[in-house]
Amino acid sequence: MDLPFRSRFAALRIVTAAAVALLLPLAAASPALGAEGDEAGTITWSVRPADESGEDGRAWVEQELDPGESATEHLAVHNLSEQDVTFRLSTADGYFRENGRFSMRSSDEESVDAGTWIDVVDEVSVPAQETVIVPFTTAVPDNATPGDHAAGIAASVLSEQVSEDGATVGVESRVGFRVMTRVTGEIAPAAEVQNVSSDYRMSWNPISPGDATVRFEVVNTGNTRLLVTGAVDVQGGEIAFPAADEADQELMPGDRRSFAVAAEDVWPLVSVPVGVEVAPAVTGEGEGTALDSITAETRMWAIPWPQLIVLAGIVLLVVSATWGRRRSRRRMAELIARARDEGRREAIVDETV
């Protein structure tokens, strides 16, 4: 599920905030409060894909169109509130955030791609506890490039709040879903792994291994949406990414996504081999189409300083013990030689007497 995001911008003397909740799969929006003094109360609503008769169970819209072709879809705006509400409808270019969640450009950002292809009425009035079905049309330009294009469509309400500094703050709460359009033509999925690096964190306990972090970027160099999975190999141990508790990582054409994979129990063997394998797959139309795995290799410096210190200590002990034994032997040899000399001198004295 995609999480809400917020942006703020100034307009004359009123500070305006665009609070956008783009939820996939979509549930009811977070409540939006009415303006100060407004007795209308809390407004909640949901927006889902639909056909002419109502919601159709889809989480978002996937469509494949030729350049110059158009198609009509529908959205269901469900007013969960106890009062009638007029919702503003808007569209914008879509994108995937670094955490893998889908979002759409805020109201103060200009759309230049699929967000401009969608035509929908500016607003819709929905009675309390009712649902209204609204058609919208996607018209692909004649010169649209083949491949995947992302947009979002949303219903929003505007309320006013007073900030801590006393300024009037307008909050636009926006709820919607993604509209993914694949333009027909030469479809060429492709990806690259770039900027592989790693760092090692040793344990000062000489009998314990350390940890490592492997960082890299995956770039969607093709023209289709890709689902990215893979594994990092450090010293023979594989770590899958993304982790089971992390969101799927989808990349639109041209997207670049940074990854950081942690590896535990890595022994410092001076130069540790590191491998990255990425298995991208086409998602959306043609979903499940796998590409050849992409691999990248590097080596990570892991100097075993604690072990070297221990080894140096052992060497010092051995050298010291060896030197001590040799010194004792020399001392003993000197004592024996001195005793022999004294014995000879005493024997000579006795013979003289």
pLDDT single digits (tens) 80-99:
999 999 999 999 999 999 88
Taking the C-alpha atoms of residue 322 and residue 200, their distance in angstroms, rounded to an integer, is 37
Flag whether pLDDT at 37 surpasses 50. no
State mean pLDDT over 239-248. Answer: 90
Do 37 and 87 lie in one domain? The reply is yes
How large is the average pLDDT for residues 160-186? 85
Please state, in angstroms and rounded to a whole number, the distance separating the CA atoms of residues 161 and 237.
53
β-bridge partners, 272: 300
| Residue-wise pLDDT tens digits, 65-83 | 999 999 999 999 999 999 9
Q: How far apart are CA 302 and CA 202, in angstroms?
A: 8
User: Which pLDDT band holds residue 24 (cuts at 50, 70, 90)?
Assistant: very low
Those residues whose C-beta lies under 8 Å from the C-beta of residue 108, and which sit 6 or more positions away, are 7, 9, 18
Last residue of a domain, one of 156, 183, 210: 183
pLDDT higher than 80, residue 172: yes
Average pLDDT value over all residues in the chain: 85
Co-location of 154 and 267 in the same domain: no
Percent of the chain with pLDDT over 90: 61
Cβ proximity of 134 and 77 under 8 Å = yes
Percent of the chain with pLDDT over 70: 84
Q: How confident is the model at residue 127 (pLDDT cuts 50, 70, 90)?
A: very high
CA 171 – CA 11 distance, rounded (Å): 13
Question: 313 in helix, strand or coil?
Answer: helix
Q: Cβ distance 201 to 236 under 8 Å?
A: no
pLDDT at 33 over 50: no
Tell me the residue range of the domain where 37 lies. Answer: 5-183
Give exposure, 177-198, as e/b (b: 16+ Cβ within 10 Å): bbbbbbbeeebebbbebeebeb
pTM: 0.77
- 137 and 258 co-located in one domain: no
- Interval 135-149: pLDDT, tens: 999 999 999 999 999
Which of 25-29, 222-226, 254-258, 291-295 is least confident?
A: 25-29
Residues 171 and 37 grouped into a single domain: yes
In this structure, the answer to whether residues 76 and 33 fall within a common structural domain is: yes
Q: Judge whether 215 and 259 are in contact, CB under 8 Å.
A: yes
The token pair at 1 is 């599920």
CB neighbour list of residue 28: distance below 8 Å, 6 or more residues apart? 44, 45, 46, 78, 80
Please say whether the beta carbons of 302 and 318 come within 8 A.
no
Residues 110 and 81 in one domain: yes
CATH number at residue 80: 2.60.40.10
Number of structural domains (the chain) is 3
246 and 150 in a common domain: no
Q: How many CB atoms lie within 10 A of CB 263?
A: 23
Residues 299 and 327 in one domain: no
Q: Model confidence over 249-293: pLDDT tens digits? A: 999 999 999 999 999 999 999 999 999 999 999 987 666 566 899
Q: Which of 183, 210, 236 is the last residue of a domain?
A: 183
Contacts of 89 (CB under 8 A, 6+ apart): 120, 121, 122, 123, 124, 134, 153, 154, 155, 156
Domain identity same for 55 and 164: yes
Same domain membership, residue 278 and residue 226: yes
| Statement to judge: residues 249 and 150 lie in one domain | no
Task: Give the end of a domain, one of 150, 183, 216.
Answer: 183
112 & 215 share domain? no
